[in-house]
Chain A
Amino acid sequence: MESSAKVDVPAVDMRGIVKRFPGVLANDHVDLTVYEGEVHALLGENGAGKSTLMNILSGLYQPDEGEIRVRGERVSFGSPKDAIRQGIGMIHQHFMLVPSFSVAENIMLGMDEPRFLLDPQKIEGTVRELSERYNLDVDPSSKIWQLSVGEQQRVEVLKMLYRGATILIMDEPTAVLTPQEVEDLFQTLRGMAKSGHTIIFISHKLDEVLAIADRITVLRRGRLEAAGVEASSVTKKELAHLMVGREVLFRIEKKPAKAGEVVMEVEDLQAEDDKGLPALKGVSLQVRSGEILGLAGVAGNGQRELAQAICGLRPVMGGVVRVHGKEVTNAAPVVLIKEGVAYIPEDRHGVGSVPNLSVAENLALRNYRWPPIGNGWRINRVALRKQAVELVQTFDIVTPSIDTPSRLLSGGNLQKMILARELSGDPRVVIAVHPTRGLDVGATEAVHRLLLQERDQGAGVLLISEDLDEILSLADRIAVIYEGQIMSVVDAEDADIEELGLQMAGTRVGAGAEKGEA
């Protein structure tokens, strides 16, 4: 872990890397140069080849062409173990931890040493020491399942540090974190860079990249667009252009809202989370037709439970849900579908789609019961396919065919598929939960356009997002949720970013009643 850096020799130097997958050229002669002690961002849209390139560097894949040098020395990795020997460790988006093991046990997992006898005390000590040194606050003896996502990520980082990694690759580390956790992570990363570690940071989020990176390399469709640009010398707009290949409008053009009557309301809603703890403590909200109500809040404050409780997927313990004035509290999900409530769930893979069924069949998930697709007890496959062809075209879903299993779609196209399904039936209420999370700029734009279009057609939209920028640019009114309670509801025009931020952290503004820490 000595940082006896020879300034000229890059920590990592990848040259002319080519990687093919069946039918795809994932990396097409890509170069990447990373210097010791820097935070280097690898920027690109989903599918640009970032993860592939880093999987090559971490030994998971072998390149078809090209060479890799680590600190000037030519290397070739047959497995992640080879890479870690050279001090290269990768932290994947999906953590590779055993939930029932403790932090220390997970850190030891897969290590060659010790071979037989474990000394948990000693390992816990070492882990504790590491976590203190790098400000990675986590208790080595607690079990993984007890930890938050952010803490689990820290365990992954510790795991790599414990193995002597000096070059850390992080694959979209912020995708799963709350804004606060993101800030903590960034501080940790800066500290580690300062102490000589090299960090490669994969992301498609421009703001983040600009906030954390020293230098930036941009990939687009497997090719190199910009190599090692100084972060201080580019603008967000330039980066977006490099990444997407065209001009990107960050401003969303929207007409003023024509809000009508209340289409959906919840009154004093109470519900529990998966562990049986109160998650909603009396939430009251009204959504009117022709408006977008943005619900801001840090993830985990009851947003998920609220959406599920409205849609009949989570038992309501108290309070009322009404759609168009009709009470639908604790109604079966199918009732909500009949009432025209569209639900865009936060988990596209786990809830929103059926991975091994075709795009066409996924598109029918909402309306298979009724004509023209449902026909008595049968399914009209001709109608099902016809609908799919139409929706794929209308919603610009990029898929090899309507028979392709939906799991093969990219995140953006999967989300478009879900939106196509949910919005095509002319819903009166749309509940969208983190609809653009994990999507690249282009897909995000498309989703935003679609939500606005729904609003303009008279639907009431409840937009639940932790991305304050998104809410500010889309919503007509903004509510803030904190620990299962609504802190305030304001018109978007009157919203003050500072105030919203404080409320998201639990501070009641105006009323003077402080709650929680600032």
Chain B
Amino acid sequence: MSTGTEGLVSGNPGPRSWRVKIERRLEQPRWLMWISPIILILAALAVGAVLLSIVGVDPRLAYSRIFSAAFGTPAGWLRGEIYPLSDTTVKATPLILTGVGVALAFRMRMWNIGAEGQLFIGAWATTGVALHLLSPETSPWIMIPAMMLAGFLGGALYGAIPGVLKAWLNVNEIITTLMLNYVAIFFNNYFIYGPWALRGFGLSPRFPRNAWLPRLMDLSDRFPIFRGLTAHLGILFGVAAVVVVWYILKYTKWGYEIRVIGDNPEAARYAGMNLKRNIVLVMMVSGGLAGLAGMSELSGVVHLLQERFSPGYGFTAIIIAWLAKLNPWGVILVSYLFGGLLVGGDQIQPFGIVQMLNGIILFVVIGGELLLQYRVRILRPERIVERAAEASGS
């Protein structure tokens, strides 16, 4: 019988009183694992609703606006109004790419919190190719793949730095990846204010048309329904990345090694796996995906390099990966939720309200995740009858 249970005790410890006992779940039931994010998000929305009413907004109205701005309404879809989905897709695209990259690294317990920096370096490399390496007349069939390669390689090499430091010098990757974020952002600043600056605006010049990823709106001549829709090819990169990472983890030797190393590095060593090589490789792929996110965001949306093209996608990716339980498919789902939240958030002004709402959701979801690992039992005095109540908080 495994008995690793340590109870946290609260309430009056006297033997004759009622008491509440909180104990760690021995095993998280499967259904709970899948349903918990949903419960938590609902709980967060409930808390948010209370707050919204306090500041004087009708939460139902606010939520319905946020939701319809993020995902549209069935009636709207029938009318051909699919732009909310397109907007949310645009937001979800970089989140999926960075999220799945982070999830891959986390699977091996490489705590890569440097996706933001890797994204910036990927974007930087992309810009170099689009503006300086290739002529504006280069065919998109060459231009786009070259930019993808540059973005991926940029992120991958940047991810390799903490990987190498970890593998050979055992430098904590949390610290290095975190710090390298800032290095990347300032490196990027140097270029947009310096060598690549356009008149000191903190912007690079615009990419030539051939360096733009195709968008739905480009098809609006043939399909008028796509008019003004900005969803771009990058979402397919995201889905492809998810499929590839999922396939790697499940069906390849390398994925098997990642999972073994992530769960028990000692066992991996014992089984003859090359830890150093795997650490560097996984950091490269993880960073490469973040770099590809940078490429997709620049080539698909921003069309130039600027200081603040990412509102912290690489950091949000960490939470996304975690909420998705490091499952690649889950990353798509959670990214769309977060994307929707970002898109719908503009529906309420002033802006602080939405930031507060986002904060609450993050707080409840992350805090609740912990609570779900415990259950609450209420013990009656004397007869010690126990009742298991789910600690779901809702």
Contact: B384 with A379, CB < 8 Å?
Answer: no
Q: Which residues of A contact B268 (CB under 8 A)?
A: 354
A313 to B21, CA, bound (A): 45
Q: Given that A21-B1, A78-B379 are known contacts, is A64 also in contact with B386, CB under 8 Å in the complex?
A: yes
Which A331-379 residues have C-beta < 8 A from chain B?
332-337, 343, 345, 347, 350-357, 361, 364-366, 368-369, 374, 377-379
Comparing A46-54, A458-466, A479-487, the segment that makes contact with chain B is A46-54
Min CB–CB distance A137 → chain B (angstroms): 30
Contact: A78 with B251, CB < 8 Å?
Answer: no
A47 to B1, CA, bound (A): 5
Contact: B270 with A352, CB < 8 Å?
Answer: yes
Interface flag for B303 (CB, 8 Å): no
Q: Which residues of A contact B263 (CB under 8 A)?
A: 354-357
Q: Given that A332-B272, A333-B270, A351-B267 are known contacts, is A52 also in contact with B254, CB under 8 Å in the complex?
A: no
Q: Given that A62-B379, A79-B13 are known contacts, is A26 also in contact with B270, CB under 8 Å in the complex?
A: no
Interface flag for A75 (CB, 8 Å): yes
Min CB–CB distance B108 → chain A (angstroms): 12
A76 to B253, CA, bound (A): 53
CB < 8 Å neighbour of A63 from B6, B259, B272, B384: B384
Which B254-272 residues have C-beta < 8 A from chain A?
254-256, 259-260, 263-264, 266-272
Contact: B7 with A368, CB < 8 Å?
Answer: no
Min CB–CB distance B281 → chain A (angstroms): 13
Contact: A333 with B269, CB < 8 Å?
Answer: yes
CB < 8 Å neighbour of A78 from B21, B252, B260, B382: B21
CB < 8 Å neighbour of A365 from B2, B15, B250, B260: B260
Q: Which residues of A contact B3 (CB under 8 A)?
A: 51-52, 55, 60-61
Q: Which residues of B contact A51 (CB under 8 A)?
A: 1, 3
Interface flag for A24 (CB, 8 Å): yes
Interface flag for B349 (CB, 8 Å): no
Interface flag for B27 (CB, 8 Å): yes
A351 to B2, CA, bound (A): 19
Interface flag for B394 (CB, 8 Å): no
Q: Given that A63-B384, A337-B272, A378-B251 are known contacts, is A365 also in contact with B1, CB under 8 Å in the complex?
A: no
Q: Which residues of A contact B260 (CB under 8 A)?
A: 354, 357, 361, 365
A82 to B9, CA, bound (A): 11
Q: Identify the closest chain B residue to A63 (Cβ).
A: B384
A109 to B357, CA, bound (A): 41
Contact: A81 with B1, CB < 8 Å?
Answer: no
Q: Which residues of B contact A79 (CB under 8 A)?
A: 7, 9, 13
A311 to B5, CA, bound (A): 36
Q: Given that A76-B382, A368-B253, A369-B253 are known contacts, is A357 also in contact with B259, CB under 8 Å in the complex?
A: yes
Q: Which residues of A contact B9 (CB under 8 A)?
A: 78-79, 81
Interface flag for B26 (CB, 8 Å): yes
Which A63-83 residues have C-beta < 8 A from chain B?
63-64, 75-79, 81-82
Q: Which residues of A contact B26 (CB under 8 A)?
A: 21-22
Interface flag for B166 (CB, 8 Å): no
Q: Which residues of B contact A241 (CB under 8 A)?
A: none
Contact: A61 with B5, CB < 8 Å?
Answer: yes
A313 to B273, CA, bound (A): 11
Interface flag for A237 (CB, 8 Å): no
Q: Which residues of B contact A377 (CB under 8 A)?
A: 252-254
Interface flag for B19 (CB, 8 Å): yes
Contact: B1 with A60, CB < 8 Å?
Answer: no
Q: Which residues of B contact A62 (CB under 8 A)?
A: 21, 379, 384, 386
Q: Identify the closest chain B residue to A48 (Cβ).
A: B1
Min CB–CB distance A494 → chain B (angstroms): 35
Contact: B267 with A353, CB < 8 Å?
Answer: yes
Q: What string of 1s and 0s marks CB contacts (under 8 Å) between B21-42 and chain A? A: 1000011000000000000000
Q: Which residues of B contact A24 (CB under 8 A)?
A: 1
Min CB–CB distance A391 → chain B (angstroms): 16
Contact: B7 with A355, CB < 8 Å?
Answer: no
21 interchain pairs (CB within 8 A)? A51-B3, A60-B6, A63-B384, A78-B9, A79-B13, A313-B269, A333-B271, A337-B272, A350-B264, A353-B264, A354-B267, A357-B263, A365-B260, A365-B271, A374-B253, A377-B252, A377-B253, A378-B251, A379-B252, A379-B253, A379-B255
Instruction: Please give the residue numbers on chain A whose beta carbons come within 8 Å of chain B beta carbons, in ascending order.
Output: 21-22, 24, 26, 47, 49, 51-52, 55, 60-64, 75-79, 81-82, 311-313, 332-337, 343, 345, 347, 350-357, 361, 364-366, 368-369, 374, 377-379, 381, 408
Sorted nearest first, the 6 A-B pairs with minimum C-beta distance are: A334-B272, A333-B272, A79-B9, A365-B271, A354-B263, A351-B266
Known: A22-B27, A356-B263. 11 other contacts (CB 8 A): A22-B26, A51-B3, A55-B3, A55-B5, A61-B5, A78-B15, A313-B270, A350-B267, A374-B253, A378-B251, A381-B251
